[in-house]
Chain A
């Protein structure tokens, strides 16, 4: 009986159910799509790893716990004789020395263009080996047979338009090495997107490692022993100096590495899901509130003739359940589409996943249905509970909203507490000394202010719309007045409708304040403290001396400046305790004319004279001051004790890292073991034309396609575009939430029009024209949208400004409020309102006057 009533009611309200359904479907689709995608990716890769992993792999010793591997360090190796040693372990059939490095690039010498992926996936160069589980096999040509031959993978060759006989160059820190393509190798498994190039073993060792060694030894058993046994025996044979990994362990390692790469995608997608879930929740709450409101009399009657609260609740919940199940089912189906889309996206950036291998585990259904049904039922339960609490007579007495006064008080108190608390946290965050604490406070404050605004929404609706709407009668006459009154009529509904929009717009404004502050801070810092004119940064392979020479020789260049980065270097403080800092070794000329960051204490040029430069925050954290002596540990037992010569002010372009002179470094670390250069700088000669010199530089560096040359303006643009990448993701999120919010506005208006059928009939009877009527509805819609936009803008500005305050010492020193974005946001909210009103206004205009009057 209950089910039948619910079903009938559900289908009677197909239209508005459809809108809620879209919200559920979107949320579920994102959740399940993400899961399917990451399941598929993980399973594809684990299949790949399972197919190619050796039985045991002997790898170089793990770096000691306190020694971080340095990016660009020479690859760690195992000595060549180790291969024979491993081969002699009982049960090992073959042991093959493998060379595989990621610090070289491939260049097409004919065009000077990079061969292989330019971002994301790596380019790997190694030696050709005949392992029983080779991921590639030669499909044309032959294996590299001499020091001039190279084998390239088929996908990369195809993309670069290269074939057998063409030339390819391998560039790395030791220089440029020309080869001829002797063979093309095709992946026998899924291509994970990497570019692979193979040399013969001797050449690979010489060119890629500079020594007779391997990066690992891969051993394959004869089947007589388990891998674990092999591992134990190998360890016994070699001692525990090397890492020995079974196939399973290798697979786990690799999966973890790929997994962390996919994590970003996954979290971004889950972000989408979360947003559509929250916003969709509002939509569902509103839909059911209105369904319940329309049925208030019916419910009153039901209660008057003795229906229990539970029965009333039950009928609404069953409807929600139907919606949830239907929405989840559709959502999971759409989610498959989302997953296929993501796979296509990955294909575009070179990762070769196959849509036909979709991996739909039970977790997809569990998560999809759980999310869809839960959100729907919870969202419907709120208005249902409200409805069942209405006293029967009040419900019968027409649109009664009883207990309003009390719940209003509760709401006000709660809302003010939340918003006030959140605002307090934001203020605390903005004034916090440490960015870490500030960030936590910001996060909490953000959440509290958001919830606070949602709770206060209905109250604010009355106040804000009274103010906002005061203009309407003046501007739009009677339509304006009616629109304003209608928008204030049901503040709770207006509040909930606007809240969905508010969330999206708050995100837009907040993130654009953040990003424009980031861009203008960087630009202010560059203007203030950068003296060099060009920044030249390398790609996957480090910068070589030839490159720097090429720059030096370019007409118009005065000099070049380098820097060598030693990440997370261990230093011992005067008190004996240890700390880590990102240390950069720079030439004596670095500070002064090339870079002149603001100094907190000490003298900048002391670095050139053998002192250490440190950041203000580091100094404060460890109680360091100019003159204190610090021992730097460069690893391998090389240490050096240096006095602190200068403390740089926080918030500068150089961050909180430390600086040491290259001369000082050279005293303890031989040149060959110093870290490579990844980025260097050049200064134009006095009087040289900066623009023309840039062109000259680009020409001079043509044969090094991995280098990018930027002048200061170009660098600022680069910062801007990096920030924008982040911004686009956020905008994608926001676009989605706004779409759902628009559905919400449409929903609210459509239901309002239905609810007010008689009023509309009356208005038409006493002579309101269709145009005036449509305008009334459009204006109501615009008022709701603007209300949401105003709240969102306020919230977003508060968030953005706080974020900037929190990060003021982390390179976000300059606050910049993007007024254009704010204006565009407000204007587009008007457009959103107009668009949302299209259908409801049209339907109201078309309503038959007599039928409208006759409705009861």
Chain B
């Protein structure tokens, strides 16, 4: 993994700034008048480069909305968002599309792959779309890390759910995006397959220097992260560094208690 270490070292002077994504006073509201829902309420967030950030919170608290806004999939009502040094609020669809293509990777909860393409084609799809040739050495490394070497010619329907998610992870990694977003990427997996994927994500952060943002409901999954942000009613209410499954669970209990009281 020496190559990976050489790719990025946040400690290096003059290297890219330590923040991969920034949100300032981001508000997102749906509807208007009576039915107005404020999904995000003046949120300030910094996502550190080369770190694994988890976002937690009760259902409907605005996790997905935050992630979609950060990733340029959705527009904000007010506030500003940067990916690296690029402000994405106010970009037009064309530029946003290009930004997603070149700088961002996605892992969704399910249905991540195109059924008509085999695993390898799915992995290289973002580069194909961009008209870039994949870096073969890097691709091999990613594929090997994900443990899919023997499965590259298989279609998604011929893979298990966990394997499919690993292909999705490989796809997100292969293009070397600045930042990868996952919305409950292990939500559909059993605990073993989930652990597989999470271990892999963790390794990609540690060994490849990847920046990772993941929405999850699962304290165990959050335990893999460097930092957990807690969201409630569209506001970041807490954060925790170097979490473990137990400490997250503990915090959530407290949180629930506070809410019910």
Q: A766-B106, A767-B100 are in contact. Are A772 and B128 (CB under 8 A)?
A: no
The reply to whether B117 and A770 contact each other, CB–CB distance below 8 Å, is no
Docked CA distance A764–B93 (Å): 11
A98 at the A/B interface (Cβ < 8 Å)? no
Q: A766-B100, A769-B97 are in contact. Are A486 and B116 (CB under 8 A)?
A: yes
Docked CA distance A853–B68 (Å): 11
The reply to whether B128 and A489 contact each other, CB–CB distance below 8 Å, is no
- B126 contacts across to A, CB distance below 8 A: 766-767
Q: A766-B100, A766-B125, A767-B97 are in contact. Are A482 and B73 (CB under 8 A)?
A: no
Docked CA distance A595–B193 (Å): 91
The reply to whether B114 and A477 contact each other, CB–CB distance below 8 Å, is no
Report whether over half of chain A's contact residues are helix, strand or loop; otherwise say mixed.
Answer: helix
- A478 contacts across to B, CB distance below 8 A: 125, 128-129
B108 at the A/B interface (Cβ < 8 Å)? yes
Docked CA distance A644–B69 (Å): 98
Name the one of A762, A769, A772, A850 contacting B114, with C-beta atoms under 8 angstroms: A762
The reply to whether B101 and A766 contact each other, CB–CB distance below 8 Å, is yes
A448-474 to B contact mask, C-beta < 8 Å, 1/0: 000000000000000000000000000
Q: A481-B128, A765-B100, A766-B100 are in contact. Are A853 and B108 (CB under 8 A)?
A: yes
A485 at the A/B interface (Cβ < 8 Å)? yes
Q: A478-B129, A767-B126, A770-B93 are in contact. Are A489 and B98 (CB under 8 A)?
A: no
A549 at the A/B interface (Cβ < 8 Å)? no
B44 at the A/B interface (Cβ < 8 Å)? no
Docked CA distance A488–B102 (Å): 29
The reply to whether B129 and A762 contact each other, CB–CB distance below 8 Å, is no
Docked CA distance A762–B115 (Å): 12
70-87 of chain B: CB within 8 A of chain A: 73-74
Number of A-B contacts (CB under 8 A): 67
Name the one of A488, A768, A849 contacting B129, with C-beta atoms under 8 angstroms: A768
The smallest beta-carbon distance between A339 and chain B, in angstroms, is 49
The reply to whether A850 and B73 contact each other, CB–CB distance below 8 Å, is yes
Name the one of A488, A770, A850 contacting B97, with C-beta atoms under 8 angstroms: A770
A759 at the A/B interface (Cβ < 8 Å)? yes
Q: A766-B100, A767-B98, A767-B101 are in contact. Are A850 and B93 (CB under 8 A)?
A: no
A758 at the A/B interface (Cβ < 8 Å)? yes
Interface size for A (C-beta < 8 A) is: 23
The reply to whether B116 and A489 contact each other, CB–CB distance below 8 Å, is yes
A831-856 to B contact mask, C-beta < 8 Å, 1/0: 00000000000000000011001000
The reply to whether A849 and B128 contact each other, CB–CB distance below 8 Å, is no
The smallest beta-carbon distance between A472 and chain B, in angstroms, is 13
A845 — nearest CB in chain B belongs to which residue?
B93
B94 at the A/B interface (Cβ < 8 Å)? yes
A763 at the A/B interface (Cβ < 8 Å)? yes
The reply to whether B116 and A772 contact each other, CB–CB distance below 8 Å, is no
The reply to whether B108 and A482 contact each other, CB–CB distance below 8 Å, is no
B117 — nearest CB in chain A belongs to which residue?
A485
The reply to whether A769 and B98 contact each other, CB–CB distance below 8 Å, is yes
Docked CA distance A768–B100 (Å): 9
Q: A767-B97, A767-B100 are in contact. Are A477 and B106 (CB under 8 A)?
A: no
- A850 contacts across to B, CB distance below 8 A: 68, 73-74
The reply to whether B106 and A482 contact each other, CB–CB distance below 8 Å, is no
The reply to whether A477 and B100 contact each other, CB–CB distance below 8 Å, is no
A771 — nearest CB in chain B belongs to which residue?
B94
Docked CA distance A766–B121 (Å): 14
B141 at the A/B interface (Cβ < 8 Å)? no
Which of B101, B116, B171 has the most chain A CB atoms inside 10 A of its CB? Answer: B116
- A764 contacts across to B, CB distance below 8 A: 97
748-779 of chain A: CB within 8 A of chain B: 758-759, 762-770, 772
3 A-B pairs closest in CB distance: A767-B101, A485-B116, A478-B128
- Interface on B for A, CB 8 Å cutoff? 68, 73-74, 93-94, 97-98, 100-102, 104-106, 108, 111-112, 114-117, 121, 125-126, 128-131, 171
